[in-house]
Structure 1
Amino acid sequence: MYQLCTFALVTFCLVFGVHGALEPVEVANKTYTIKTTTKQSWFKAEQLCNLDGLTLATITSADDNDNLSDALDTAGVSSGEFWIGGTDNALTGDWYWLGSGVPVVYNEWIKGKPGNANKNDHCMSLVDYSWTVSNCEKKLFYICQNQC
Structure 2
Amino acid sequence: MLWLLFLASFLEGAVSQTQCPHGWTKWGMSCYLFVTHVPNDWTESQYFCHMLHSKLVEIETMEEDNFLQLQAIRHVHENQKTFGFWIGGTDAVVEGEWMWITSGQNFTYSNWAPGFPDDYRKNEDCAHLFKAEHFEWNDEDCDHRMSFICELTLEETPLVVVGK
Q: Same fold (TM over 0.5)?
A: yes
What one-letter code is carried by the residue in structure 2 that aligns with 1:89?
A
Residue equivalent to 2:54: 54
Q: TM-score, normalised by structure 2?
A: 0.71
CA contact (8 A) 2:39 2:146 kept: yes
CA contact (8 A) 2:34 2:75 kept: no
Contiguous gaps of at least 5 residues in structure 1: 1-21
Please point out which of 110, 120, 137 is paired with 2:113: 110
Shift of 1:146: 0.7
User: SS in structure 1 opposite 2:120?
Assistant: coil
Match runs of 1:55-94 below 5 Å:
55-73=55-73, 75-77=74-76, 81-94=84-97
User: SS in structure 2 opposite 1:77?
Assistant: helix
CA contact (8 A) 1:53 1:147 kept: no
Q: TM-score, normalised by structure 1?
A: 0.78
Residue equivalent to 2:98: 95
Q: Which has the larger radius of gyration?
A: 2
Shift of 1:98: 1.1
Shift of 1:116: 1.2
Question: How far apart in 2 are the matches of 1:30 and 1:137?
Answer: 27
Residue equivalent to 1:143: 149
Deviations 1:57-97 (A, max 9, x none): 11111011012124335x54378501000000101001001
